[in-house]
């Protein structure tokens, strides 16, 4: 059993010009989570971002949207973590993932940054890679040189719907993740993904 999660940090870039960017998928999930909980974010300068508190599975949970821009996400996450004396294992980071197709989702405990600059900075500031992750697939442009422009633009209508469907799926399993039942959540998500793939294949065959 993993540690109980006390902080969920959703990654993205601040400002109205970035609201619809693929890179802001982490913000999208936190906005929906706060909305469902009947809570709202407020700016907290000492944490370099927006925060709110919700109750999930009977426990208090802090949500954080860094305003430091993606490449300096660790400054915000570490400021809140150090203030509340949180261990890396008590943090869940939600971020976009270009190596996963839009509409798909992965959860992970620990590991490297995989080239994601937000994760790279968080690992550096926490001096640990042991935080959990929810990886929201946003697809890949096909060429490495196009990635930066790709994640800083909005997805098309159909792709956006796929991403938001995966966010809904992530929220279905969030209570298990927050309670520390990480392996169970991963296995349940894996089974669900396989089942959905089989159903999609059948529809295409018909």
Rounded Cα–Cα distance for residues 150 and 109 (Å): 27
Fill in the DSSP letter of residue 18. Answer: G
Active-site position among 18, 23, 67, 190: 23
Identify the CA nearest to 137 among candidates 64, 189, 73, 76: 189
- Write a three-state SS string for 166-205: HHHHHHHHHHHHHCCCHHHHHHHHHHHHHHHHHHHHHHHH
Is 23 labeled as catalytic in the residue annotation? yes
Rounded CA Rg of the chain: 16
Q: Which residues are designated catalytic?
A: 23
């Amino acid at each position: 059993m993993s540690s109980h999660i006390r902080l969920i940090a959703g990654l993205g870039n601040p400002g109205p010009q970035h609201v619809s960017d693929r890179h802001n998928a982490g913000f999208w999930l936190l906005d929906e989570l706060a909305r469902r909980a009947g809570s709202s974010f407020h700016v907290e300068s000492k944490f370099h971002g927006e925060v709110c508190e919700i109750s999930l599975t009977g426990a208090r949970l802090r949500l954080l949207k860094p305003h430091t821009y993606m490449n300096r996400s660790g400054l915000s996450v570490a400021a809140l973590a150090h203030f509340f004396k949180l261990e890396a294992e008590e943090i869940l980071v939600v971020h976009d993932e270009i190596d996963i197709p839009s509409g798909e989702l992965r959860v992970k405990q620990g590991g490297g940054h995989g080239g994601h600059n937000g994760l790279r900075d968080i690992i550096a500031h926490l001096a640990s890679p042991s935080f959990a992750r929810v990886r929201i697939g946003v697809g890949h442009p096909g060429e490495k040189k196009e990635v930066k422009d790709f994640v800083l633009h909005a997805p098309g209508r159909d792709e956006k719907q796929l991403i938001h469907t995966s966010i809904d799926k992530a929220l279905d399993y969030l209570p298990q993740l927050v309670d520390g039942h990480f392996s169970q959540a991963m296995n349940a998500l894996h089974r669900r993904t396989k089942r959905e793939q089989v159903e999609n294949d059948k529809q295409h065959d018909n």
